[in-house]
Amino acid sequence: MQIDKKMVWVVVLLALVTVAISTGLVEGLTHLDHAKAICLGIFFLAAVLWVTEWLPSYQTSLIILFLQISWLVPAINPKAGAAARQEYLSAFFCDITLLFMGGFVLAAALQKYGLDNRIAARLLKKTGTKPSRVLLGIMIVSALLSMWMSNTATAAMMLAIILPILRKIPEKNSFAKGLILSIPFACNLGGLGTPIGTPPNAIAMSYLVEKGLAISFSGWMMAAVPLMVLFIISTWLLLLKMYPPGSLEISLPTTQEGSLAPSHWFVMGVFALTILGWCTTGYHGLSLGTVSLLPVFLIFGPGLLNTQDFKQLPWDVLFMMGGGICLGVGLKESGLAGEAVKMIPAELDFFWVLLAFALLAGVMTTFMSNTATANLLIPIAISLPGNISFMTMTIAMVCSTAMALPISTPPNAIAFGSGLLTARDMIRPGLIITVFSLLAILAVGELYWPLLGL
């Protein structure tokens, strides 16, 4: 049997963390009590595993759960019973994970019945032959679809749609690169628009609910969609500037579409009903997670999706979100989050703290998963004094707008994998978008979000 080198590193890391805490080394160096030292060790372990990806994200999340229940909970309270462990377990099946599960089911149904392709083709038909309009049309469709379904799946689908266009563009014309880049950039930015658009949004909402600062589905959209529109337009202009089409005339491929079957209409009806339910929670009183169960039984019940489709849902994403929320519970219950807050000088203005966290989020998510970044930073940020909503939403949104490298996001990796781009092609516009987005989020958060009560 061949030994996996990554697994060896995981075992070594676990052993080092265990020895460092069990011998009192961490407590001696940090002057933390035993429970906080354990929590710090678990946090460090999670950070290393999420950054290095030595283990799949869901395995890291389950390790976090096991260590917190078996090691941290008894350290906080030796007499703790099942009730104390329940808060850690419930992180994996809370309202926010249900919200994302509902979104995944809707996306799976749209893809299975080809409705995503139909929607994209219909919208792109109106772009005409002018390159700038085609580019904008592709970006708008990519962003709109990414608001409701996986940005990875959207990027793969949209790249397949534009391949016939790319073949017609002369090799010397750089506009082809602009077209390819527009898809991952628009998919990344489109995820800002809704709570289900990208995991960091849902993670932020989860912690705001915990703090009694719940934001509604429609409230998130009111705060985020204007930013999304601003970013799409500015990215469109940037790509046109960097990759000008010249006198090029292009046309979109024509597709033959059959008539819609009853199953198509039913899926679209469930989609519309679910969105309506999400946007009206203030009227009917049901939580976002409860509404998200609606598409699950309405689509699986009649057999529109089957057991195989259920197995193929991205459960690893749900488990990673659960692991992050579980980690946040440990930071709060052990008091480690409070210790982190004490390290920030009291006289330091809130804006500079906010800027520091935003920059840290931007740098981290450039090199690692945006979900992992949100999982690590938001539990600490939520304990800081000042405008918690502003801080939390800023971190979540910055996590989705850092896109300077091919490894920064899955859509970036898909576009880079086409073989038609170099890393330099992506770094130049990606870095500009990242910096501009960070500054714009801070400005809009300061000037516009207070008008929404955030």
Residue corresponding to tokens 């608001």: 147
Regarding pTM above 0.85, the answer is: no
Average pLDDT in the 355-371 region? 82
The conformation of residue 371, written as its DSSP 8-state character, comes to H
> Which residue in this structure is represented by tokens 């009903």?
273
Q: Which residues contact 281 (CB under 8 A, 6 or more apart)?
A: 216, 217, 287, 288, 291
What is the per-residue pLDDT across 186-230, written as a single tens digit (0 to 9) for each? 999 998 998 888 888 988 888 888 888 878 888 899 999 999 999
Cβ neighbours, 10 Å, residue 268: 17
Q: What is the pLDDT of residues 36-94, one digit of tens each?
A: 899 889 988 888 887 777 888 788 889 989 999 988 888 888 877 777 788 888 888 88
CB atoms within 10 A of CB 447: 9
Q: Where are the domains of the chain?
A: 1-89
Q: What is the mean pLDDT of the chain?
A: 83
CA–CA dist 254, 162 (Å, integer):
11
Separation between Cα atoms, residue 297 and residue 111, nearest integer Å: 18
CA distances (Å), origin 335, targets 29, 65, 138, 330, 369 = 17, 18, 48, 8, 26
Amino acid, res. 394: T
Handedness of CA 397, 398, 399, 404 (dihedral sign): positive
Residue 211's CB is within 10 A of a number of other CB atoms, namely: 12
Task: Give the mean pLDDT of 221-245.
Answer: 93
Residue 127 per-residue DSSP state: G
Reading the block at residue 68, the tokens are 């917190």
Q: What are phi and psi for residue 217, nearest 5 degrees?
A: -60, -50
69 DSSP 8-state letter: I
> First-to-last CA distance in the chain?
56
